[in-house]
Amino acid sequence: MLPLPTGWSPGRANSSKRSSETGFNRHRWNVVRFKKKEQLPEDTRRYTFSLPPDTKKLGLGTCQHLQLGFHFSDRLVVRPYTPRRPVFGREEDGKFELIVKTYAPDQYQPDGTMSNILDCLRPREEIEVKGPIGEIKYIGQGKFMIDEKEYHFLDVSLVLSGSGITPGYQLISRILRAKDQGKGEDKTNINVIDANKTEGDILLKDELDRFAKDNPDQSNITHVLSHTDDKWSGEKGHVSKEIPQKHLDLRKEMWRCFAVLRL
Ligand SMILES: Cc1cc2nc3c(=O)[nH]c(=O)nc-3n(C[C@H](O)[C@H](O)[C@H](O)COP(=O)(O)OP(=O)(O)OC[C@H]3O[C@@H](n4cnc5c(N)ncnc54)[C@H](O)[C@@H]3O)c2cc1C
């Protein structure tokens, strides 16, 4: 674990008056408390945060994200994150979870700022959050609100990479778990191309592969790696136009793609 950065001052900024029962104020900082960290494969961690006592719900729409803010004495660091949980209203339990890859320094680059701040948090320390943010929201049963207009899709294809999988994960989880969560079966088809450097870099791989395995008629996930070893039997290289042509049904008239490139 790295030492806490100098200038660490939990809860330093003016936080909003936490009056909301339903969610955060998206225009002002809200203070949340770090609860626990779990080590996932490679350099990925799962972080759990508690909402303020008077905020009952995170209130994010599916595919929306939060801004995390950390005040050093002389600057504010802000990064976006998409929670892994809650996805459904019934999972709102006063907490939220982030899956975050920690960027370690090497001979070519310094460490990642926010991911190392998170890695250094101790239970009950505070960090600031704003949200919900994002103009794409999945409502269910193939319906999206995009810039406040409603769209309906029977098939959704996503081309994602690195930590850009997290908004996609929310969508996949929302579609494929709808029935178990009392929302009625969601028959939207979902196909994903997920590009990473190495197999260890694939965030949420086990959960994604399980979704695809349990729902073979409705979902498919193709991992593409740029750095492989001999054991890797999947797609190799970068996402050229051949990979979507091979793994997505591009004959369909409409498709949308979210992409956060971080390879
Ligand atoms: C909508 C959205 C949702 C996201 N959700 C998630 C999520 O759920 N989980 C997640 O892990 N990430 C997510 N991200 C990415 C996240 O916001 C951060 O970009 C990521 O955590 C890295 O932030 P950092 O401050 O740790 O690294 P940064 O400080 O931003 O650095 C990033 C990389 O750049 C390198 N670097 C920094 N400075 C230099 C320099 N001067 N020269 C050369 N290299 C440098 C670092 O070594 C590191 O590899 C999301 C991004 C978006 C846009």
Q: Which of 75, 115, 207 is the best mutation target for the ligand 1 pocket, counting ligand atoms within 8 Å of the beta carbon and taking the most?
A: 115
In 3D space, the residue among 2, 242, 243 whose CA is nearest the CA of residue 115 turns out to be 2
- What is the separation of C-alpha 185 from the centre of its chain, rounded to a whole number of angstroms? 23
d(CA 170, CA 64): 9
Give the three-state DSSP class for 153: coil
In 3D space, the residue among 105, 108, 116, 150 whose CA is nearest the CA of residue 47 turns out to be 116
Tell me how far the alpha carbon of residue 185 lies from the centroid of ligand 1, in angstroms.
35
pLDDT band at 26 (very low <50, low <70, confident <90, very high): confident
Residue 258 or residue 91, greater confidence: 91
Render pLDDT for 245-254 as a digit per residue (tens, 0 to 9).
888 877 665 5
Global pTM?
0.88
User: Residue 235: which residues within 8 A CB-CB, separation 6 or more?
Assistant: 222, 223, 224, 225, 243, 247
Render pLDDT for 53-94 as a digit per residue (tens, 0 to 9).
888 899 999 999 999 999 989 999 999 999 999 999 999 999
Backbone angles phi, psi at 99, to 5 degrees: -110, 120
The overall average pLDDT reported for the chain is 86
From the alpha carbon of 105, which atom of ligand 1 is closest? 47
Tokens of 260: 């956060």
Neighbours of 176 (CB within 10 A): 20
86 annotated as belonging to a binding site for a ligand: no
80 annotated as belonging to a binding site for a ligand: yes
User: How does DSSP classify residue 231?
Assistant: T
